[in-house]
Structure 1
Amino acid sequence: MVFSSVGFPPRELLHLQIRNRAEQQDPDWHKRYAVRSGIEGTVCEFAHGHGMRRCC
């Protein structure tokens, strides 16, 4: 028999999530995230596409 449980995050975490989700609606946040996304894509391509995860 499998039992499931439901957990609720602490109130502080809930408020932090609500605040972060509201900030993500801001156009300035989208511009900053677009830059980060491009950088992370470049790093991922370098690490996985060229085998450079370990360069020593």
Structure 2
Amino acid sequence: MGFPPRELLDLQIRNRADQQEPDWHKRYAVRSGIEGTTCEVPHGHGMRHCR
């Protein structure tokens, strides 16, 4: 078992704390909508196998 470098651990802790903020949830709501749309195209419409 290994441990990440201290800088990476500090970054993860800071990011996890930021994810508890309401502003972060507002920004992520926009991203999740875009992610869902881009995921729908190849999976829902078979565009991965289209020429």
Alignment of 1:17-36 (within 5 A): 17-36=12-31
Distance 1:54 1:23 in 2: 39
Deviations 1:1-54 (A, max 9, x none): xxxxx1100000000001100110110100111110111011111111112236
Number of corresponding residues: 51
Segments of structure 2 that go 5 or more residues without pairing to the other structure are none
- Percentage of pairs with the same residue: 82
Alignment of 1:1-40 (within 5 A): 6-40=1-35
Runs of 4+ in 1 over 2 A off after TM superposition: 53-56
Q: Larger Rg: 1 or 2?
A: 1
Distance 1:23 1:51 in 2: 37
Give the corresponding residue for 1:49.
44
Segments of structure 1 that go 5 or more residues without pairing to the other structure are 1-5
Deviation at 1:55, TM superposition (A): 5.3
